[in-house]
Amino acid sequence: MAGSTLEIKDLHVEIEGNEILKGVNLTIKGGEFHAVMGPNGTGKSTLASAIMGHPKFEVTKGSVHLDGEDVLEMEVDERAKAGLFLAMQYPSEISGVTNSDFLRSSINAKREEGNEIPLMQFIKTMDENLDFLDIDKDMAQRYLNDGFSGGEKKRNEILQLMMLEPAIAILDEIDSGLDIDALKVVSEGINKMRSENFGCLIITHYQRLLNYITPDHVHVMMQGRVVKSGGPELAQRLESEGYEWIKEELGIEDETVGQ
């Protein structure tokens, strides 16, 4: 089976009456890695949350389709079931649910009833991925993200990614707060996912992540839109020159979404 396609067209999103996204266009196909960069407060996390269906964000115009299916019509759990995955900039802590139970129910929620993942297979895959990501085995039995350090949370997001094998993943600042070794491990996890059946949108501020994960496309967001796209060389130029040249080129004074 060929990979999935996530197609975002002219997406406008409001929060409490303020328009944050002002017409985002972006298409991510299986096999492709896209990096989304841009100054603080330009709508990157809003884009991620809106695609995943965060109730605070109201889509007022435009569309999001996954393989032709209208994502905006789906409930949040249906979006996950359809193959979308979001690693949040600030993962929530869920007390009372162990990491392991959470993962197993998430996997089973995506499978047909009666076709649940066999427990032994789950444990084996989980152990392999814990090893690969160099995560302490005890973490599996701890409550989800409860008391996890910043870096542990990010590693754990990648554990979820590797266990759930989504068609399209959105990773919001997966590199923030990671030490140098963890950055490598997390990047290796993401790279291991690379296949025709996996597309990824990586929101990041730093070229250093893109030294490990080579993006096929790089996009810059300003004022709630994608204002520039290019290849990996665009991220390199941003690293050395910052954003000022883009603002000058496009005549943008205030890059934030403004009010």
Ligand X SMILES: Nc1ncnc2c1ncn2[C@@H]1O[C@H](COP(=O)(O)OP(=O)(O)OP(=O)(O)O)[C@@H](O)[C@H]1O
| Interaction site with ligand X (CB under 6 A) | 15, 20, 38, 40-46, 56, 89, 256-257
Which of Mg ion, ligand X, none does 193 bind, CB closer than 5 to 8 A by kind? none
3-state secondary structure of 154: helix
Q: Given the complex with ligand X, which of 41 and 232 has the nearer CB atom?
A: 41
Check if the beta carbon of residue 160 is closer than 8 Å to that of residue 150.
Answer: no
Q: Given the complex with ligand X, which of 41 and 177 has the nearer CB atom?
A: 41
Q: Is 45 in the site for Mg ion (CB under 5 A)?
A: yes
Q: How far apart are CA 146 and CA 137, in angstroms?
A: 15
| Residue matched to tokens 């967001």 | 221
Calculate ∠ Cα 33-56-175, nearest 5°: 35
Instruction: Give how far Cα 218 sits from Cα of 13, 34, 87, 125, Å.
Output: 22, 6, 19, 32
Which of Mg ion, ligand X, none does 20 bind, CB closer than 5 to 8 A by kind? ligand X
Nearest-approach distance from CB 14 to Mg ion, in angstroms:
17
Q: Tell me which H or E stretch contains 108.
A: helix 99-110
| Choices 36-44, 80-88, 111-119, 183-191 (CB under 5 A): range interacting with Mg ion | 36-44
Nearest-approach distance from CB 202 to Mg ion, in angstroms:
12
Contacting positions for Mg ion (CB under 5 A) = 44-45, 89
